[in-house]
Structure 1
């Protein structure tokens, strides 16, 4: 709280911050808030999605607004109705202790009469989509000729969506002497044009490099045949039992089609696109936020309003046409300091796009293989065993134990475990047994994707390991890699292909480290708990280019994880509060 106070915020805002549980400002908030509070200035702020931009402009805007006047003083333009509503709701939370301040959302798909009524009552701050805002100005419903502040949020996305002319027309109705604050994840030429035309000597702040990706996101790509995109999507989901993801398609038709197929195949999925009514979109988003939907299939436009911090994966079912759009997609995960994974399903003809994206986001992709059927069976088997182990016992079962014991009389412990696991395991084993290899030859790696031997060592000298810690122990792929590096006293590049699941994980090392790793984790304990490492039966699970781990870690060490003080082994984990999915682990 002292850090927020040091930025110059007044007590009503500090009280709201306390209620919201914010502990310290993000980088963009630390840089933007003092500038916007101390002087009347134009500002260009470049920061990735999920870095706290709404608070960065919201706090200073609220503090500068005269709540005693009913005149509209602040206008915020955003690309979609979802984002418009999200910003409005956040501003209302920030201003809860400021009497008389009214924030109104204006967007298409809702009653223009009701929105006009709210404006007439007096709205000091209006949050609007460009299309509906221009319509209401044309009808004489709203007057923005006296506003003091105009904020363009997600400016690059608004321009990508074709709102350039609308924004120009709207800004032309605003006073010359206002302050304009432009917030954007990237800085394409169209955004620069807006800045030059409508802003006066703006100050500029940048969080991270211009147009770069978030460094808490690991970027992966999988090369498949054109007809294998959907089977590949299913396997990527099945190989990550705790997945909570957004899947991006290019068109509304593909979005609906993929979502329907996933639902038919037994997954908790939903579609989000522009052909849905506002009520339908609200229902889908509410279900997604409550994790009743694990896989949200969305178009780029519709996904602009998604603000959920614990999305584990973004899956690019199809690559977007614009590289800047990929930056927005991958920014849906790895938010609020958490790690995330952005997966891309591509054909060989699309590999050149991967090179182009790498140059733009200044991060390297990891080339990975679509898991085989047996690799998925191994992951699902471990997941099932962990789920059984961690299941809370219902005390009412005790009344039935005598009869149950009679049923199992003569069955020893090992046989009983085999039978219990087989109840679920047999279903997906039958599905994936003899399933074909979906991987297409990747020219980037010379097409040399050799399989491994049964002792876990692959023909290219890499060994795949299983370790019995995962997300429930507060590990992600970054912190587990650091834990292994520190424990084994090896370099960062000696541990690679780290895949973290709910209560277990996989990683790779070169074959010459095999003896050291197995010896280190013999009778190894952390806070009294055994941490076991075994050679995986499916050594090629995860696949990938070891060299890219190095490329992805050029930035400074990020103090990630709580493992050094042992806190990584607390129960519960990063997503322990989530509802259990209704989706069956066996899949079909």
Structure 2
């Protein structure tokens, strides 16, 4: 018997589960499904986004539906059009072997007449946004007076978006004897009020700790000057060439401004905010899902309903007013069992907010430094070397090789390699050479995290005896490591505690990590001629102690080293800057879209003009940051 069979699901649903490739139920599914199948009960389920909540309520709902009746028996309310459509698609996949079960999506921005016609033909399950459902009810286009189950998905999100009155009105039109299943990431007082008013002795399950952050997410913060947020953002992107991220701003104006600046500077970016039309929003989201957009800049309201499992980073360009909002932001990464990173860019005056968030989510932040220009150059150099190494040879180039070989005649191998990598490296070097340190002075937290004691590193090759030590290790994402699994590997190999390994930065084919200096001799001895599956795993002390993601290494060993990598987003030469063809902005780009006249993907960090300096980026950011500060949770 499989684990899904043990939950009590019938064969048609189990067949659908097999088709979808599900093997083991998630924690929320394992806890919720048996409760919902056993009998008629109300349920409050608290779990982070990305934990499989749709299946947790979807399978039991389908199993309870009478397919012979065309009456609407189940209503699912969700906060956004995107999430509404996604739930509908998943429910249709779950019920693929159920004859006669119809699932209809009801949301704004589409024909209300068409949606009403689909419901009239017979829809046992309706998935709806609160605004459109209320509209259809007022027009008499839908009848929910006989439903058996009402599900509130992402309840806290709906209430944060101002749907409290709509939800109350909708629930008031449903039968009192129905069951209500409420799924939420957090439990603010508004959600508790809904539960108290419309639910009867609900059972409650909690995955993790109530209002806590996901354990798969590492939380980091970077302290910079107020004018340096934007250049700091660019450096974080350049340190992670394969970044696939959502960047959160507090206002629509800042969201648009940051997105436009990133596009102008050659990044694959787009904006998502409330001023976009539904068509523009769909275009941006489709491009993001296809990874044509690498950095999606969004407001909190517009980002609700984004459900993409492989987001690598969430970047808080500005912190939100409410701590619950930060929980939702960070929940966009580290989903479906994958690890992720939530980064916060703050000024010294905002440090107190970090402590408040830590207390709420039950997790500690790691303080990190914005990487220096030379650290970025090193990471990008290894990335380029790795990209060249992994490039498939195009057979058509054979015809040109004799002529090309003649061009390179007289240049030895080492000199040719230097020239090839210098084509790309020189652009980064020219851009970042002599750039300033963006880290705000006095930004460390004194007694917190031993992460401020990196001064124990040195360039002399001697083993440090105090402070924290940063190391280079020649394994990375290509070896199926992320920050969690690499940390576990190091902990198990060295037989040290979980907290003895910190500041783990995983790149494409190499990584960095920190320990206290007291462990250094053990590390160097353990990894002397250390092999995994026949390959040397080499660890060396890094001579660059910043901990922001780079660092040259001391020592003479050089086994199997490559660079951080990712998808190929080509750059060409544009007036001495990062170039390629000049990106042509379409009329929709002012609203977050973009058009690339070459049709090719661009890479993070590309297409910058030499006339655009980091200081300019800083002043641009500060001029756009004059929005009135609102009082809030903090």
TM-score, normalising length: structure 1: 0.90
Q: 1:583 aligns with which of 602, 624, 628?
A: 602
CA shift digits 1:53-92 (9 cap, x unpaired): 0000011111111122111111111111111111111111
How far did 1:541 drift? 3.0
Residue of structure 2 in register with 1:67 after alignment: 67
CA distance in 1, matches of 2:476, 2:398: 31
Partner SS, residue 222 of structure 2: strand
For 2:542 and 2:380, how far apart are their aligned partners in 1?
14
CA distance in 1, matches of 2:464, 2:232: 23
Which stretches in structure 2 are left out of the alignment for 5+ residues? 551-559, 571-600, 609-634
| 1:506 paired to 2:512 | yes
For 1:164 and 1:434, the matched residues in 2 are separated by: 53
How far is 1:24 from its partner?
A: 1.1
Q: What's the secondary structure of 1:50's corresponding residue?
A: coil
Whether 1:134 and 2:129 are equivalent positions in the alignment is no
SS at the partner of 1:3?
A: coil
Contact 2:524 2:540 in 1 (8 A): yes
Output aligned runs, 1:62-101, within 5 Å: 62-101=62-101
454, 464, 469: which is aligned to 2:470?
Answer: 464
Q: CA deviation at 1:476?
A: 0.7
- Aligned-partner Cα distance in 1 for 2:349–2:51: 34
CA distance in 1 between counterparts of 2:519 and 2:405 reads 46
1-structure distance, mates of 2:263, 2:199: 48
Q: 1:71 to 1:443 in 2, by over 3 A?
A: same
Contact conserved, 2:266 with 2:605, CA < 8 A, in 1?
no
Check 1:525–1:143 CA distance in 2 against 1; reply closer, same or farther (3 A cut): same
Q: Is the 8 A contact 2:218 2:342 kept in 1?
A: yes
- Residue aligning to 1:277: 277
Q: Does 1:476 align with 2:482?
A: yes
In structure 2, distance between residues paired with 1:353 and 1:380: 33
Looking at structure 1, the residues matched to 232 and 9 of structure 2 have their Cα atoms a distance apart, in angstroms, of 50
Structure 1 segment 98-247 matched on structure 2, within 5 A? 98-247=98-247
Q: Which residue of 1 aligns with 2:494?
A: 488
Shift of 1:540: 1.3
Cα distance, 1:455 vs structure 2 = 4.1
- CA distance change for structure 1 residues 443 and 387 in 2, over 3 Å: closer, same or farther? closer
Query: CA offset at residue 32 of structure 1?
Result: 0.7
- Structure 1: unaligned runs, 5 residues or longer: 545-568
Q: Supply the distance in 2 between the matched residues of 1:520 and 1:183 (Cα, whole angstroms).
A: 47
Secondary structure at the aligned position of 2:304 is classed as: helix
Question: Which deviates more from structure 2 when the two are superposed, residues 447-456 or residues 509-518?
Answer: 447-456
CA offsets, 1:391-447, max 9 Å, x none? Answer: 222233333333333222222222121111111000011101111111113555149
Are the structure 2 counterparts of residues 90 and 120 from structure 1 closer, same or farther at C-alpha, using a change threshold of 3 Å?
same
Q: Any conservation in 1 of the 2:454–2:468 contact (CA below 8 Å)?
A: no
SS of aligned partner of 1:93: helix
Alignment partner, residue 454 of structure 1: 459
> 1:36-63 deviations in whole A, cap 9, x for unaligned?
1110111111111110000000111111
Q: What residue is the counterpart of 1:563 in the other structure?
A: none
**Corresponding residue number in structure 2 for 1:54:** 54
Distance 1:70 1:436 in 2: 67
Match of 2:398 in 1: 398
| Counterpart residue number, 2:529 | 523
> Counterpart of 1:429 in 2: which secondary structure?
helix
Identify the residue that residue 497 of structure 1 maps to in structure 2.
503
Residue 152 of structure 2 aligns to a residue whose secondary structure is: strand
Q: Secondary structure at the match of 2:300?
A: coil
C-alpha RMSD over aligned residues: 2.4
Q: Is the 8 A contact 1:375 1:541 kept in 2?
A: no
2:512–2:549 contact (8 Å) kept in structure 1: no
Separation in 1, partners of 2:41, 2:605: 57
State how far apart, in whole Å, the 2-side matches of 1:96 and 1:139 are. 31
Name the SS of the counterpart of 1:503 in structure 2.
coil
Describe how 1:184-583 pairs up with structure 2 within 5 A: 184-442=184-442, 445-446=445-446, 453-455=458-460, 461-542=467-548, 582-583=601-602
Say whether the 8 Å CA contact 1:82–1:302 is kept in structure 2: no
SS in 1 for 2:603: coil
Structure 2: how far apart are the matches of 1:382 and 1:459?
30
* Superposition TM-score, scaled by structure 2 size: 0.84
1:562 aligned residue = none
The residue that corresponds to 1:30 in the other structure is 30
Of 530-539 and 117-126, deviating more is 530-539
Q: Secondary structure at the match of 2:174?
A: coil
The whole-number CA distance in structure 2 between the counterparts of 1:333 and 1:140 is 40
Structure 2 Cα separation of the partners of residues 531 and 307 of structure 1: 36
Distance 1:535 1:383, change over 3 A: farther
Looking at structure 1, the residues matched to 12 and 224 of structure 2 have their Cα atoms a distance apart, in angstroms, of 55
